[in-house]
Amino acid sequence: MDKAPVTGTAAIEFIGVDKRFPARGKSAEVLAARDIHFSIAKGEVVSIIGPSGCGKSTLLNMGAGLSKPSAGTVKVNGEVVSGPNKHVAFMLQKDLLMPWRTIAQNVEFGLELRGVPHAERQVVSTRLLNQCHLKGFGQHYPNQLSGGMRQRAALARTLAVDPLVLLMDEPFSALDAQTKMILQQDLAQTVQSEGKTVVFITHDLAEAVTLSDRILVMSERPGTLIEEIRVDIPDRANPMQRRKHPLLADYVSRLMALLKLDAQADVH
C-alpha cells in the first residue's frame, strides 16, 4: 500500500511566480513562466510536463535557489528560497560524477563539504550504494560503470545529503528503454522507503503516470499551469506494475490531448 503524503507545511510551494530573462540583443524581456501557483506535500511525487521551452527547468532552478523569481515567492519547508539550501538536492540528465573520485567518494562528496567525519560518510555511502544496487562498486571509478549504474550512483549521491526535496530534471532520458524502466523502479522504491518529496520533469508521458501522485501540465511559453491530474492508479512504488494497469493508456491519451500531441500526430 502507498504511504500517504505527510500533511502540514508544504515541502515546496510556488506562489504567483513569474520568471523573466533579458532578451539577447533586444530591450524587451522574455517571459519564461507566468503566474505559477502550486504546492507539493511532504512525501509526494509530482511530475511536470509541457512543451520544450515552457519553463519546466526554470521552475526547478528557482526551487533549488539557483535562480530568483522575477515576481512571486518560492518556499521550501515553509521558508522563502533566497539561495541554495540544504533541504533541496538536484539530479540531472547527466550524472556529473567526478572521474577522479571513486563511486563511494562521489556519493560522499556533499557530506564531505558539510564536514561530516569520514567514518560517518562511509556508513551513509555503503547503505545507499547497497540500496541503489551498487554493492561492491564503491571503489570503482565512473568510467568503469555503465550509464545506468552511473545514474544509480548519481541518485545515491543525491540522497546522501538527506534532502527534503529531490528536484529531478529528466534523469533517465538518455538511457535505453529497458535500463530506464529498471531505474524508474529503483527510484520509486527508494523514494518510498526514504519518504522523500520529488519534483520530476519528463517528456515521457508514461513515465510521468507511472511515477507520480500528481502531474502538472504546462502551456507553451510563457509557461503557466493549465491542468493538474491526480493519478488514481495504486502502488506508486511499483512503476512496472502500474505500466500494466488498464488506466495507463487513458492517462497518456489525456496528457497527449492537453499537449495537443494527438493533433500533431494527425497532421503528420
| Segment 201-230, tens digit of pLDDT | 999 999 999 999 999 999 998 999 999 999
The strand pair at 45-49 and 214-218 is best described as: parallel
Higher pLDDT, 14 or 29: 14
Write the pLDDT tens digit of every residue in 106-147: 999 999 999 999 999 999 999 999 988 899 999 999 999 999
| The model's pTM | 0.89
Assigned C-alpha cell, 161: 545529503
Structural domains present in the chain: 12-87+165-267 (3.40.50.300), 97-162 (no CATH)
Tell me the C-alpha distance between 188 and 183, whole Å: 8
Could you identify the residue written with the cell 539557483?
A: 66
Residue 268 has pLDDT above 50, yes or no: no
Residue 233 has pLDDT above 50, yes or no: yes
Q: Is the peptide bond before 222 cis (omega within 30 degrees of 0)?
A: yes
pLDDT of amino acid 85: 84
Three-state DSSP class for residue 45: strand
Three-state DSSP class for residue 18: strand
